[in-house]
Structure 1
Amino acid sequence: MGERPVIFSTHLLHPQVTAALEEIGRYRVAERPTPEAIARDSAGAQYIVVRAPIAPEIIARETGLRALVRHGAGLDMIPVDAATEAGIVVANVPGANAVTVAEHAIWSALALLRRYPQVHAGLRRDGWEAARRHSDAGRELAGRTIGIVGMGNIGRELARIAGQGFGMQVLSHTRSPDKVPDGVTACSLPDLLAASDVLVLACPLNDATRGLIGAAELAAMRPGSVLVNVSRGPVVVEEALLSALDSGHLAGAALDVFDRQPLPPDHPLLDRDTVILTPHMAGITEESMLRMGQGVVAEIRRLEAGERPDNLVNPDVWPRYAARRDVPKAQP
């Protein structure tokens, strides 16, 4: 029997997932999830479980690397083209945390409309009566219009919860308007911005979505509307968002992602009492961590058995990967 493969993870994983990976190979975790520690501690890995950005230099250095398996769906942390060129498989686990992120978006929208940030801060700073006064301007989610940018797994879960659970009118701006679920109206971005009380960004980060929501788009939103970003930070132009909040045009924003992560301690968003900030955790719960980890384990087991991953991101790599790994010709 050959030597067991080295499986490296950029972060700690669910205990059950850790145990399963330890059965497959020699499992280790980055000392810290920093670029420097990841680059150092990934040396000699055959599999990398990705929860933080992987530098192209790691791919160039690790000639024995077989696969990068994303613990989640988004691929902006992985240089897919470089991996494909090197004959390295890229796989992910789409949909495993869709309901988790959708619930976070709904919670965020509810909190913004009920002015939770102001109430929370006011109760501690100004007292009971001052905090209660914020409730006079609170609003209900039921019956309002939600606009969702992106209609992938997260967008569909969010549309289901918003429409069926809260009786909201659901609009979507998506690259595939012919595939929106029943009860969702596909529309252009300008129409969505003009009609939405709650705007939720649930799209991937790519050349088309980088800077998608800038000053003009924020100005086109309904006065008093709120924005929730559970996609990626660069989808929103942060300076323009700050201006829209400071002017009062937007009633609030809930941001789980940022241009720079971790968020710098002197970032101006930290001073705004109409903003809810979370540290890129919308998709993280005990349940979702287990589901995503189980998906990672399943894909690594398939690769160890010479099988093609169920969620192969770069299918063009398979013939080259199969030749490197001496996978039997019968495998697709």
Structure 2
Amino acid sequence: MKVLCTLPMTDAATCQLSGKAEVIVLRDQSDAGCREAVANADYLVVRSQLPDDIFDHAPRLRGVVRHGTGLDMIPVEAATRLGIPVANVPGVNAQAVAEYYVAGMLAFARPLARMETILRGQGWNAGRALAPSATELSGKTLGIVGVGTIGRRLAQACACGFGMRVLGMQRPGATLPDAVQPSSLADLLAHSDYVALCCPLTSATRGMIGAAQLRSMKPDAVLLNAARGAVVDEPALITALQEKWIRGAALDVYARQPLQPDHPFFQLDNVMLTPHVGGMTAESSSAMSAGTVRQLLQMMAGERPEHLVNPQAWPGRRAAQGGRE
């Protein structure tokens, strides 16, 4: 059997599949390249955006595993219609993403990297000149949009570790940790010094942070997004940063990825940019790959994967050569 990975897994995970399947890493990341490669795949491991029609080009495909949590990269409804089970690996990178948000806040509160650059280039006194502008997280307000697994860990770290006040917006009916004060989006944006977007991309959250929401934020507030780029109206955010509606932004995700070299973000000095690595650490990568392989092996053995996200597809799932079981 052939397992196609849109991006590599860890070496240990690949070794686990040795003797059971041939692991192939996608070389051509274009939509056309993905369609061509998946035609001969029995299983698909997803770490990057799939074309909407990908499953129309996958006659042998028996299962898909998302190497991570978010499912917006996969046309799940299309998979379900074709009897292709889809699983994910939820929660294993939550700590990594929570720590990314903390790092983003600290980067604005204490601009140590910039201080070091100035120290190396301009000397001791020039480096010290930035110190009076540094701030502390203690006593500041963090607003978390989407208090799920990641949001809860972030809230605990900031409330207990830094003494921050934490506001949280969560879907109706969901409970919040004791350290989080429930808030509407409008109040959260108006009162937060830092706003962390921890929500999934859905029809309700797409474009949720637009011009009106950015204008409602405090002028010294910082927006942090390691969720999905499309949660934010990117042109509106560019304008907000250019015109200093807010202090700045720490961004790990974008409307279009990879971020193009001529993107306006690169011309701004009040935005911290990273290449969609918020959930990637040695520990989280190992855990995600291990969880992915475990569910691949379950599907290969005809067993229901532990984190199946489209159970409707399971009864009529595809058999080994493209038929039905």
Superposition TM-score, scaled by structure 1 size: 0.91
Q: 1:269 corresponds to which residue?
A: 265
1:84 counterpart = 2:60:
no
Given residue 303 of structure 2, which amino acid in structure 1 is its aligned partner? E
1:35 deviation in Å? Answer: 2.9
Give ranges in structure 2 of 5+ residues lacking alignment: none
SS at match of 2:44: strand
| Residues 204-223 of structure 1 aligned to structure 2 (within 5 Å) | 204-223=200-219
Aligned counterpart in structure 2 of residue 238 of structure 1, from 221, 234, 238 = 234
CA change 1:124–1:232 in 2 (3 A) is farther
Superposed structure 1 runs of 4+ greater than 6 Å apart: 322-326
Aligned counterpart in structure 1 of residue 152 of structure 2, from 132, 135, 156 = 156
Q: Is the 8 A contact 2:39 2:59 kept in 1?
A: no
Report the Cα distance in structure 1 between the residues aligned to 2:198 and 2:300, rounded to whole angstroms: 33
1:124 deviation in Å? Answer: 6.3
CA change 1:170–1:276 in 2 (3 A) is same
Report the Cα distance in structure 2 between the residues aligned to 1:261 and 1:107, rounded to whole angstroms: 22
1:57 counterpart = 2:57:
no
1:269 deviation in Å? Answer: 0.6
Aligned counterpart in structure 1 of residue 130 of structure 2, from 129, 134, 151 = 134
Higher helix share: 1
Q: Is the 8 A contact 1:29 1:41 kept in 2?
A: no
Superposition TM-score, scaled by structure 2 size: 0.93
SS at match of 1:250: coil
Report the Cα distance in structure 1 between the residues aligned to 2:122 and 2:240, rounded to whole angstroms: 26
1:177 deviation in Å? Answer: 5.2
Q: 2:221 corresponds to which residue?
A: 225
Q: Is the 8 A contact 1:226 1:253 kept in 2?
A: yes
Give the alignment's Cα RMSD to 1 decimal.
2.0
Q: 1:93 corresponds to which residue?
A: 89
1:199 deviation in Å? Answer: 0.3
Q: 2:17 corresponds to which residue?
A: 21
Q: 1:330 corresponds to which residue?
A: none
Report the Cα distance in structure 2 between the residues aligned to 1:182 and 1:251, rounded to whole angstroms: 29
SS at match of 2:272: strand
Percent of aligned pairs with the same residue?
Answer: 46
| Residues 183-332 of structure 1 aligned to structure 2 (within 5 Å) | 183-321=179-317
CA change 1:16–1:207 in 2 (3 A) is same
Q: Is the 8 A contact 2:62 2:318 kept in 1?
A: no
1:80 deviation in Å? Answer: 0.6
Q: Is the 8 A contact 2:219 2:246 kept in 1?
A: yes
Q: Is the 8 A contact 1:149 1:202 kept in 2?
A: yes
Could you list the per-position Cα deviations for residues 101-126 of structure 1 after superposition, in whole angstroms to 9, with x for gaps in the alignment?
11011001110122356546655665
1:244 deviation in Å? Answer: 2.0
Q: Is the 8 A contact 2:3 2:41 kept in 1?
A: yes
Report the Cα distance in structure 1 between the residues aligned to 2:34 and 2:102, rounded to whole angstroms: 34
1:205 deviation in Å? Answer: 0.9
CA change 1:131–1:240 in 2 (3 A) is farther
Bigger shift: residues 29-38 or 226-235: 29-38
Q: Is the 8 A contact 2:223 2:249 kept in 1?
A: yes
